Structure 1
Amino acid sequence: MEKEINGTEIPLKTHTAEYARYGETHIEEGARKQMDIAMKLPVTVAGALMPDAHQGYGLPIGGVLATRNAIIPYGVGVDIGCRMALSIFDIPESHFYGNEAKYKRELIAHTKFGAGHGFHGREKSDHAIMDNADFNATAMLKQLKDKAYSQLGSSGGGNHFVEWGIIEFEKKDEVLGIEKGKYLALLSHSGSRGLGATLAGYYTKLAKEVCKLPQEAANLAYLDMNTEAGQEYWLAMNLAGDYASACHQVIHDKLSKAIGANVLAKVENHHNFAWKELYNGEEVIVHRKGATPAGKDVMGIIPGSMTAPGFLVRGNGEEKAINSAAHGAGRQMSRSKATKSISKDEMRKVLADHNVTLIGAGLDEAPMAYKDINRVMEAQKDLVHIVARFMPKIVRMAADGSRED
Structure 2
Amino acid sequence: MSNYEVMHNKGQVPVKSWTKGVSFDENARAQVNNMASMPFIHKWIAVMPDVHLGKGATIGSVIPTIGAVIPAAVGVDLGCGMMAAKTTLNASQLPDSLTALRSEIEKKVPHGSSPTMRGMRDKGSWANAPEDVLGAWASLSDGFTKLVEKHPFLKNTNNMKQLGTLGSGNHFIEICIDENNAVWVMLHSGSRGVGNRIGTHFIEQAKKDMERWFINLPDKDLAYIPEGSDKFRDYVEAVAWAQDFAKTNREVMMARTLQAMRDILKVPFEAHVEAVNCHHNYISRENHYGQNVWVTRKGAVSAKKGEMGIIPGSMGAKSFIVRGLGNEESFCSCSHGAGRVMSRAEAKRRVSMDEHLLATAGVECRKDEDVIDETPAAYKPIEKVMSAQSDLVEIVHTLKQVLCVKG
Are 1:35 and 2:32 counterparts?
yes
Distance 1:129 1:225 in 2: 28
CA displacement 1:40-65 (0-9 Å, x = unmatched)? 11111131100100000111000110
What amino acid sits opposite 1:21 in the alignment? S
Q: Aligned residue for 1:120?
A: 127
Counterpart of 1:223 in structure 2 is 225
How far apart are 1:133 and its partner, in Å?
2.9
Amino acid paired to 2:17: R
SS in 2 for 1:195: helix
Aligned alpha-carbon RMSD (Å):
1.9
Instruction: Report whether the alignment pairs 1:356 with 2:363.
Output: yes
Within the candidate set 6, 12, 19, 1:16 is matched to 12
Counterpart code for 2:127 = H
- Matching residue within 148, 170, 176 for 1:159: 170
Deviations 1:57-116 (A, max 9, x none): 111000110000212111111111001010111111111244624422322221221245
Contiguous gaps of at least 5 residues in structure 1:
1-12, 169-180, 399-405
The answer to whether the Cα contact below 8 Å between 1:135 and 1:142 also exists between their aligned partners in 2 is no
SS of corresponding position for 1:358: coil
Q: Percent identity of the aligned residues? A: 33
Matching of residue 188 in structure 1 with residue 183 in structure 2: no
SS in 1 for 2:285: strand
CA distance in 2, matches of 1:99, 1:341: 30
User: 1:71 pairs with 69, 72, 76, which one?
Assistant: 69
Amino acid at match of 1:247: N
Question: TM (normalized to structure 2)?
Answer: 0.87
Using the TM superposition, give the Cα deviation of residue 357 of structure 1 relative to its aligned residue in structure 2, in angstroms: 1.4
Q: Which residue of 1 aligns with 2:234?
A: 232
2-structure distance, mates of 1:54, 1:329: 10
Determine the structure 1 residue equivalent to 2:117: none
Q: CA separation in 2, counterparts of 1:134 and 1:325?
A: 31
Give 1:387's aligned residue.
396
Counterpart-to-counterpart distance in 2, 1:144 and 1:263: 35
Conservation of the 8 A alpha-carbon contact between 2:274 and 2:308: no
Question: What is the DSSP-based 3-state SS (H/G/I as helix, E as strand, rest coil) of the residue aligned with 1:347?
Answer: helix
Q: Does the Cα contact within 8 Å between 2:143 and 2:241 map onto a contact in 1?
A: no
Name which of structure 1's ranges 273-282 and 88-97 shifts more when overlaid on structure 2: 88-97
Unaligned runs of 5+ in 2: 1-8, 114-121, 263-268
Deviations 1:299-318 (A, max 9, x none): 11000011110000011111
Report SS of the residue matched to 1:357: coil
Q: CA–CA distance in 1 between the matches of 2:364 and 2:382?
A: 20
What is the alpha-carbon distance in structure 2 between the residues aligned to residue 142 and residue 151 of structure 1?
19
Alignment partner of 1:266: what SS? strand
The aligned runs of 1:45-56 (5 Å cut-off) are 45=42, 46-56=44-54
After superposing the two structures, state which structure 1 stretch, 256-265 or 204-213, moved more.
256-265
Matches of 1:372 and 1:80, distance apart in 2: 26
Does the alignment pair 1:271 with 2:280? yes
The 1-side partners of 2:33 and 2:307 are apart by 28
- Whole-Å separation in 1 of the counterparts to 2:205 and 2:14: 30
Shift of 1:255: 2.0
Give TM-score scaled by structure 1 length.
Answer: 0.87
Number of residue pairs matched by the alignment: 372
